[in-house]
Amino acid sequence: MAEEKKMPFIHRDISWLSFNHRVLQEAEDPSVPLFERIKFLAIYSSNLDEFFRVRVAHHRNLMRVGKKTQKKLEFSPKQIIKGILRIVNRQQKKFSDIFENQIIPDLRKNGIRILRRLDLNEEQKHFVEEYFNDNLLPFVQPVLLVNGMVNPFLNNAELYLTLHMKVKDKPKSDPVYAIVKVPSDYCPRFVEIPSNDDNTRDIMMLDDIVRHNVSIFFPGYDIQDTYSIKLTRDAELYIDDEFQGDLISKIKKSLNKRNVGPPSRFVYDREMPNYLLDYLMGTFALNNADLIKEGRYHNNFDFFKFPSFEKDHLKNKPLPPLPYPELEQAEDIFQAISEKEHLIQVPYQSYNSVVRFFEQAASDPLVTHIKIVQYRVARRSKIMNALMNAVNAGKQVMVFVEVKARFDEEANLKWGEKLEKAGVQVFYSFPGLKVHSKLALIRREKGQKSELFTYLGTGNFHEGTARVYSDLGLFTSDIRLTSEVARVFNFLETVKLPQTEFKHLLVGQFNLRSALVQKIDREIKIAKAGKPAAMILKMNSLEDPEIITKLYEASNAGVQIDLIIRGICCLVPQIKGFSENIHAISIVDRFLEHARVFWFSNNDNEELYLSSADFMRRNLSYRIETAFPIYDENIREEIKAFLQMQLKDNVKARILNKERTNIYNATKDDMPIRSQIDTYYKILRKNDMKVKG
Residues classed as catalytic: 436
List, as one string, the DSSP characters of 298-355.
--GGGGGG---TT-GGGSPPP-PPBP-HHHHS-SSHHHHHHHS-EEEEETTB-THHHH
Do 422 and 389 contact (CB within 8 A), yes or no? Answer: no
| CA gap 93, 413 in Å, rounded | 40
Residue 133 DSSP symbol: I
Do 375 and 613 contact (CB within 8 A), yes or no? Answer: no
CA angle 630, 636, 638 (to 5 degrees): 140
Nearest to 602 by CA among 503, 542, 527, 549: 527
| CA gap 542, 569 in Å, rounded | 5
List, as one string, the DSSP characters of 478-536.
-HHHHHHHHHHHHHHHH-PPPSS--SS-EETTTTHHHHHHHHHHHHHHHHHTTS--EEE
Q: Is the peptide bond before 347 cis (omega within 30 degrees of 0)?
A: yes
Element (DSSP H or E) covering residue 180: strand 176-182
Which of left, alpha, beta for 640 (phi over 0: left; psi -120 to 50: alpha)?
alpha
Collect all residues with Cβ–Cβ distance below 8 Å to 600 and sequence separation of at least 6.
Answer: 519, 522, 523, 534, 535, 606, 607, 608
Collect all residues with Cβ–Cβ distance below 8 Å to 164 and sequence separation of at least 6.
Answer: 175, 177, 223, 224, 225, 226, 227, 273, 276
Element (DSSP H or E) covering residue 357: helix 352-363
